[in-house]
Amino acid sequence: MTDTDIQFDKSGTLRHFLTVEGLPRDILISILDSAETFLGLGQREIKKVPLLQGKTVVNLFFEPSTRTRTTFEIAAKRLSADVITLETSRMSTTKGETILDTLNTLEAMHTDMFVIRDSFSGAAHLISTHVPAHVSIINAGDGRHAHPTQAMLDAFTIRRHKGDFSNLRVAIIGDILHSRVARSQIHALNILGVPEIRVIAPQTLLPNQIKRLGVHPYYDIEKGLDGVDVIIVLRLQLERMEGQLIPSDREYFRFYGLTPERLSGARPDALIMHPGPINRGLEIASSVADGEQSVILEQVTNGIAVRMAIMATLMGRQSPSPREAD
């Protein structure tokens, strides 16, 4: 059974959010639309709506990520859920208890949703097959496989600036081979109708048969950036690399770092994006990361609204009313 099959219950309602691959376009659009209604909550004095009041959300982070974990915590709390975050260093899995043993213990505490992050591909899928019908699973990143909420917040950020997806050229630069963000982003952009997606990297950092994902590979960054509307820079996944895939940090930046000179080849209003954390001077120059075209910090803000929308959708809750959202 595929992730796409598992994500829906018998009535066809979205129950889990494990991947964007295979999801219908109308579901992605619905999530983006819902996130728009949540975005304004951050500007209110009281930054909460009662949509998940009485629900319990557990963040299980077997792999650390301050940015993702924090935005999920904030998102759940703004929906008025009770939130528990457990990190691997404090959990009984380090003492020999399996993930499923830990899961069963937490289920006994009447948990309604688990947000799972793990260094192993398929962890969220495995857990989703062992939870009761009323429990939802969100994949917050698993190995090299998927990071669907990051893809959605990136798509949300692009739509807020560019409106329509149907006329865009999007370039993704960096470690495509090891990046779950790249995989999820490519799937999401294809579903949303982006006509041209480029991936720019040395051959050692591109998967075999990358064209099957519906992208155009470039080994020359200047050619790859020519006339693009959106540039997504990826972090080098040094912790996942086996062997010497790049000559050195200095050489990588020399040939593939995003600099002001290289940015000038893109469209004048091209967006600069990065899922974080940023390796300044390795993937991107500080002047570009902090420049006028950068929406990197906006991505973080948007991530809260998008994750709220996904949580509310899985729990069968509607977006807040205009009065609640104002």
Contact 169, 231 (CB under 8 A): no
pLDDT at 324 over 60: no
Q: Regarding predicted confidence, which is higher, 17 or 237? A: 17
Q: Convert the pLDDT of each residue in 214-236 to its tens digit.
A: 999 999 999 999 999 999 999 88
- How large a percentage of the chain has pLDDT more than 70? 90
The torsion angles phi and psi of 45, rounded to 5 degrees, stand at -65, -45
Identify whether residues 261 and 309 lie together within a single domain: no
How far, in whole angstroms, is CA 136 from its chain's centroid? 18
Spacing of C-alpha 172 from chain mean position: 14
Q: Which residues contact 282 (CB under 8 A, 6 or more apart)?
A: 236, 249, 252, 253, 257
Q: Are 307 and 199 contained in the same domain?
A: no
Whether 259 and 177 map to the same domain: the answer is yes
Q: Are residues 141 and 152 in the same domain?
A: no
Six-digit token pair at 98?
Answer: 């399996």
Check whether residue 104 and residue 230 sit in a common domain: no
What domain count does the chain have?
Answer: 2
* pLDDT for residue 60 is more than 50: yes
Q: 252 lies in which domain range?
A: 148-295
pLDDT tens track for 290-318:
999 999 999 999 999 999 999 999 998 75
Query: Could you tell me which residue, 228 or 109, shows the higher pLDDT?
Result: 228
- Let me know whether 8 and 120 are in one domain: yes
Looking at the fold, whether 162 and 287 belong to one and the same domain comes out as yes
Helices (H), the chain: 3-6, 25-39, 66-78, 99-107, 123-128, 148-162, 180-191, 221-225, 249-256, 260-263, 286-289, 296-314, 322-325
Cα distance between residue 16 and residue 263, in whole Å? 38
Whether 211 and 223 map to the same domain: the answer is yes
Pairing, β 169-173 against β 56-61: unpaired
Please give the average per-residue pLDDT across 255-281, as a whole number.
Answer: 96
Q: Are residues 25 and 154 in the same domain?
A: no
pLDDT-derived band at 90 (thresholds 50, 70, 90) equals: very low
The CATH number linked to 233 is 3.40.50.1370
More confident residue, 277 or 1: 277
**Residue 321 in this model has a pLDDT that exceeds 70:** no
pLDDT for res 240 = 45
Tokens found for residue 50: 């009662």
